[in-house]
Amino acid sequence: MFKCCSVKKYPNDIKEVTLASNMALNEIVAVARYGAKVHFSKEYIERVNKYRGFVEAFAENNERVYGITTGLGDNVKIMIDREKRKDINRNHLRAHATSVGEPATKESVRAMMIVMLSHMGNGHAAVSLNTLTQMKDMLNNGITPYVPKNGSVGYLTLEAHISLVMLGEGKAYVEGILVDGDEALKLKGMKPIEADIKEGLSLVSGTTSVTAFGALALYDAIIYAKTADIAGAMSLEVLKGTMMAFDERIMKARPHVDQYNTASNVRSILEGSEIIKKYEGYRVQDALSLRCIPQLHGAAKKVINDALVTMEIELNSSVDNPLIFEEDGKGISLSGCNADGSYVGISMDSLNIAVTNLGKMAERRTHRMVNSHVSELPPFLIADPGFNNGFMMVQYTAAGLVGQMRLKSHPATVDNNITCANQEDYLSMGYNASLQAYENMSHLKNILAIEIFHSVQAGDFYEEISSKGVEKIRSLVRKEVPFITEDCNMNPYIEHISSLIEEGTIVRTFEEEVGSLLF
């Protein structure tokens, strides 16, 4: 039913996304992070216009329908006069633009916008094509609303800041400069629109922010989990580890597919390594941070894959309330709560635990490389440790980052509060889970960068060469990161390797040389 969202085409290779009926994870990232242009298919346009016609009929006939002819939230009992319906939708957006604090990143705001277009493009929200076109044109013209990122219980507030810019209100970035909403539109030859009936409600409802932040986090988690296999294998090698723990027979004795695939990845990553061959049988058994790579990485990947199934469905769902359907050629409005963010929120809570474990294990492998008592390498990976700190403090940074990840791994969705005069007496808090996941990915990326930084340095203390794939990674890193012979500012090197990980360059370089890693 849904187009596969696995990373088969990298987002930075996608230049255009045409919305039809199935949005893929890599397309979200292509638009949000790399500026891919958005288009509407004929199918999309026809579907939107059809359901919008039903809403206009409700309004024309003055039928009692929540959010269309009635007030919103606790004001559901109040019928709204025809001439005031546009005003109430505009005011609804103004009243909901209450998130506070530092702004969300440009890519996360753009992700929210493309998610809104996907959700509302299913038609059941019955938002007008004019409004969706305004949002599409903002994306394509590089107009990014200013959206404070704090203060959401799962929906409503962040989305309102985006919507106000379409009306020529709020603030937005244009070419990196923050201007008023009307000026942002004017700079790109666009004009403000009005929020029509139901649109004030639809634009802020749903699982927009939960899904958008979660989608970015999930895409990164896929890339970083593959990177963790590469980093872990490189650490195993320079620590003279044994391949026994990755034996296929052991994996088949406990047939979790993700564990099996991880062990297979490590074997393929290190295939042909002269270091592994030389030290075969050197150790009877390795420490758990090496020996348990298939088990821990595999468990994390299972969570990621489970979240991927949830995300595929959520990206292509209708999440407004009420939803409009067709019955006997006429429209019918049904009130429910597809706007609840529990599916993605709980997935993101689980994802946070999974990726924190990946970071935890990577940091432990990193520590083993700087600890000469177990590594049999020069202390702190520096030839003159008495005069230099070497990689001592870089490992400290990894330890600190793991601590931050742990703090963000407490489940957010177990929280609750009461809003809207007790009309909303349960809240998913899914946004907080997705925000934590999004922020945790930056920490994991840096932890893995530090591990790779260490393993590349450690590899230069060997005369033997590594496998074809690892040597390709080492050459990639060494283009900008030298062998460290004395203390220096290492931040630029960590940041460089982090950028290689974030762009998928580490994984892509390996897979182009050796073949696709299993996931």
The structure's pTM equals 0.95
For tokens 């945790």, what's the residue? 440
User: What is the per-residue DSSP string for 141-202?
Assistant: TTEEE--EEE--SSSSHHHHHHHHHHTT-SEEEETTEEEEHHHHHHHTT-------TTHHHH
87: confidence class by pLDDT, cuts 50, 70, 90: confident
> When comparing pLDDT for 163 and 59, which is higher?
163
CA distances from 326 to 69, 334, 478, 519 (A): 19, 11, 61, 41
Distance between CA atoms of residues 209 and 157, nearest Å: 9
**What are the pLDDT digits (tens) for 474-492?**
999 999 999 999 999 999 9
Burial bucket for residue 54 (CB in 10 Å: 0-12, 13-18, 19+): buried
Distance between CA atoms of residues 67 and 132, nearest Å: 19
State the amino acid at position 244 in one-letter form.
M
Cβ within 8 Å of residue 221, ≥6 positions away:
304, 307, 351, 354, 355, 437, 441, 444
**Angle at the Cα of 162 from the Cα atoms of 160 and 168, rounded to 5 degrees:** 100
Which pLDDT score, from 0 to 100, does residue 387 have? 87
Which pLDDT score, from 0 to 100, does residue 202 have? 93
Q: Which of 158, 128, 129 is nearest to 146 (CA)?
A: 158
> When comparing pLDDT for 296 and 80, which is higher?
296
Percentage of the chain surpassing pLDDT 90? 84
Domain 214-514 has CATH 1.20.200.10: yes
Cβ within 8 Å of residue 416, ≥6 positions away:
426, 427, 429
Distance between CA atoms of residues 65 and 335, nearest Å: 9
**Angle at the Cα of 434 from the Cα atoms of 432 and 435, rounded to 5 degrees:** 65
Which pLDDT score, from 0 to 100, does residue 417 have? 78
225: which 2 tokens?
């989990």
The pLDDT of residue 4 is above 50: no
Region 258-280: mean pLDDT is: 97
The pLDDT of residue 397 is above 90: yes
Average pLDDT, the chain: 93
Which pLDDT score, from 0 to 100, does residue 61 have? 81
Which pLDDT score, from 0 to 100, does residue 70 have? 76
> When comparing pLDDT for 33 and 385, which is higher?
33
State the amino acid at position 456 in one-letter form.
V
In whole angstroms, what separates CA 493 from the centre of its chain? 24
State the CATH architecture for 11-205: Orthogonal Bundle (1.10)
**Angle at the Cα of 32 from the Cα atoms of 29 and 38, rounded to 5 degrees:** 95
Region 324-352: mean pLDDT is: 94
Cβ within 8 Å of residue 376, ≥6 positions away:
240
Percentage of the chain surpassing pLDDT 70? 96
**What are the pLDDT digits (tens) for 195-212?**
988 999 899 999 999 999
8: confidence class by pLDDT, cuts 50, 70, 90: low
Which pLDDT score, from 0 to 100, does residue 152 have? 86
For tokens 């889970």, what's the residue? 433
Which of 277-281, 299-303, 397-401, 419-423 is the least confident region? 419-423
Distance between CA atoms of residues 432 and 398, nearest Å: 24
**What are the pLDDT digits (tens) for 273-309?**
999 999 999 999 999 999 999 999 999 999 999 999 9
What is the chain's alpha carbon radius of gyration, rounded to the nearest angstrom? 26
Distance between CA atoms of residues 29 and 6, nearest Å: 12
423: confidence class by pLDDT, cuts 50, 70, 90: low
Domains 11-205 and 214-514 share a fold: no
460: confidence class by pLDDT, cuts 50, 70, 90: very high
State the amino acid at position 509 in one-letter form.
T
Would you list the domain boundaries of the chain? Answer: 11-205, 214-514
**What are the pLDDT digits (tens) for 118-142?**
999 999 999 999 999 999 999 999 9
Region 495-516: mean pLDDT is: 96
The dihedral over CA atoms of 486, 492, 495, 500, expressed in degrees to the nearest 10, equals: -90
**What are the pLDDT digits (tens) for 38-64?**
999 999 999 999 999 999 888 888 777
The pLDDT of residue 3 is above 60: no
Distance between CA atoms of residues 31 and 227, nearest Å: 23
For tokens 């009309």, what's the residue? 423
**Angle at the Cα of 363 from the Cα atoms of 357 and 367, rounded to 5 degrees:** 145
**What are the pLDDT digits (tens) for 210-249?**
999 999 999 999 999 999 999 999 999 999 999 999 999 9
Burial bucket for residue 89 (CB in 10 Å: 0-12, 13-18, 19+): buried
257: which 2 tokens?
């597919």
User: Using H for helix, E for strand and C for coil, what is the string for 308-370?
Assistant: HHHHHHHHCCCCCCCEEEEECCEEEEECCCCCCCHHHHHHHHHHHHHHHHHHHHHHHHHHHHH
Distance between CA atoms of residues 444 and 357, nearest Å: 10
Which pLDDT score, from 0 to 100, does residue 259 have? 98
Contact 293, 236 (CB under 8 A): yes
Region 91-104: mean pLDDT is: 94
Cβ within 8 Å of residue 240, ≥6 positions away:
275, 279, 282, 283, 376
Which pLDDT score, from 0 to 100, does residue 115 have? 98
In whole angstroms, what separates CA 159 from the centre of its chain? 18
